[in-house]
Structure 1
Amino acid sequence: MREIHRPNVSDRPGSVNAETAARLVATAHRLADAARAETLRMFRSPDIHPDNKAQKGFDPVTEADRASERAMRDILAEVRPEDAILGEEFGAQPGSSGLTWVLDPIDGTRAFISGAPSWGVLIGVTDADGPIYGLVDQPFTGERFEGGLGISRLTDRQGQRELRSRGGVTLAQATLMTTYPEVGSAEEHAAFRRVADRARLTRYGLDCYAYALVALGQVDLVIEAGLQAYDVVGPIAVVQAAGGVVTDWQGGPAHGGGRMLAAASPELHAEALALLAQA
């Protein structure tokens, strides 16, 4: 039987003690607050003029992306200068602590420039073994999903509540999400269709918000391909802390990016993985 990578980040403090864990969580919230201010300042503004990062096609970036990441990096330079940073817009910065902050200042820039509130700010912390804490923040709706270091919670305008993924759902009963209908290559699309054809409902387009909904118990599966580390570290920690399972399409670690399968339960993960992993 294939060995599945199933770390429980909510119970694995990794290389940090309780005092350091508390400081990391406090710092993550400070970063998210700063990113909220920068992104909301420009969201649904007529002055947003995206640049295109792609040589072929359209991969937008805005000044909101850059301002959000700069604000988070400035805070880390002040309070966590020994930690490494990996960010989408400004790349990698080495550190000496063994911890890395993985930042996506706006995950879902296409949604952002379209005025749709399905984008988010992603913040993750990794040690040598992978994610130990993650945060998915949706500034416009005021929702903040976080997981790891003993935490699994949603904070919104109504207060706080525990995040818990949904159990007892088979693939035939499941709601499946992905960002793009084509998923990736023709081979990847075919693998996705093997799962989608057996799921009860398939929906598209929510970027990081789909992973937050898995942690919230509203969605059962997210399957994607072509991801980068900054796309996945925060969501992985949130989903796993809520009781879900996240791996690549072969059952291995997914925090480096590439192909990702997030499932609300181990049983549902096994069903989907068996279809994705078919030659």
Structure 2
Amino acid sequence: MTVSKTTQTELIRVAHMLADAARPVTLAHFRSTGLAADNKDGTGFDPVTIADRGAEEAMRTVLADTRPDDAVLGEELGFKEGTSGFTWVLDPIDGTRGYISGTPTWGVLISVADQTGPLFGLIDQPYIAERFAGGFGVAEVHGPQGRSALHCRAPRPLAQATVLTTFPEVGTLQEGAAFRAVADQAQLTRYGMDCYAYALVAAGQVDLVIEAGLNAYDIQAPIAVIEAAGGIVTDWSGGPAHEGGRVIAAANRAIHAEAMAILQTAPDA
């Protein structure tokens, strides 16, 4: 879809309105000792809180007022059909486990997509007031140190690289083994970052994020931000990653290729 400059400006404006609407809802409950969490997963622990639901409701209210013809896909409230060709993909709190633990690495994920994937995205961290934006010629972060451009890190060997993921187990046993095959060759591996890991790729701080078992709302905003900053995001086969699943986000094509060569030869990856 060809998107006019006027429409691009409007979509960017609305995306920031959504982030502004979600921020106070998430902050109202963050580090509250009485915050309750329901479990969405009967076999494990997939928490959801009043903040998750409230933040998504606040964003959907903005969209109903400003972009009523657009479709909406949200983690907590599902899918709403649209007629415009645009879909807003919302994760009101990516990293709810971190949120209820009091760590500031969760974030609000907002993207707008067409049939080919995300066009513009935001990774917003309300507690430290840091917002990463990418798409339509924008690649910037605004936070406590002001506004600056986003640039992914220049190529360097995997042996010098930093690799991030959220869960040490990554996914299945086989997916975990494939991840460790890459991580074992990297200089540094860190865990537990949730969406903030992808922001760090766009900011030029780290080289790779490798994950599995993602949903569309987990990855579409990070794709837009990282690609705008010069990076690359694919699935483990090198194809599109905007529907989720197994995802590798890389600062540049060289480190992407080096990591992919290992992932694709790992047993059952």
Task: Give yes or no for TM over 0.5.
Answer: yes
- After TM superposition, give the deviation of residue 47 of structure 1 in Å: 2.5
1-structure distance, mates of 2:161, 2:169 = 20
1:16 corresponds in structure 2 to 3
8 Å contact 1:222–1:262 — kept in the other structure? yes
1:254 corresponds to 2:241: yes
8 Å contact 2:95–2:195 — kept in the other structure? yes
1:274 corresponds to 2:261: yes
- After TM superposition, give the deviation of residue 170 of structure 1 in Å: 1.2
2-structure distance, mates of 1:236, 1:222 = 12
- After TM superposition, give the deviation of residue 158 of structure 1 in Å: 2.6
Structure 2 residue aligned with 1:237, among 206, 217, 224? 224
- After TM superposition, give the deviation of residue 264 of structure 1 in Å: 0.3
1:134 corresponds in structure 2 to 121
* Structure 1 residues 37-64: Cα deviation after superposition (integer angstroms, max 9, x where no partner): 1000110112210001011111100000
2:40 corresponds in structure 1 to 53
2:20 corresponds in structure 1 to 33
2-structure distance, mates of 1:125, 1:33 = 16
Report matched runs for 1:56-205 at 5 Å.
56-205=43-192
- For these two proteins, the number of residue pairs brought into alignment is 266
1-structure distance, mates of 2:192, 2:103 = 10
8 Å contact 1:84–1:99 — kept in the other structure? yes
Which runs of 5 or more residues in structure 1 are unaligned? 1-13
The runs of 4+ residues in structure 1 deviating greater than 4 Å are none
Secondary structure at the residue paired with 1:224? strand
* Structure 1 residues 179-215: Cα deviation after superposition (integer angstroms, max 9, x where no partner): 0011011110111111011101000000000000000
2-structure distance, mates of 1:168, 1:185 = 30
Q: Normalising to structure 2: TM-score of the pair?
A: 0.98
Secondary structure at the residue paired with 1:19? helix
8 Å contact 1:15–1:127 — kept in the other structure? no
2-structure distance, mates of 1:64, 1:123 = 16
- After TM superposition, give the deviation of residue 169 of structure 1 in Å: 1.4
- After TM superposition, give the deviation of residue 271 of structure 1 in Å: 0.3
Q: Normalising to structure 1: TM-score of the pair?
A: 0.94
2-structure distance, mates of 1:67, 1:270 = 41
Secondary structure at the residue paired with 1:69? helix
Which runs of 5 or more residues in structure 2 are unaligned? none
Q: Answer 1 or 2: higher relative contact order, Cα 8 Å, separation at least 6.
A: 1
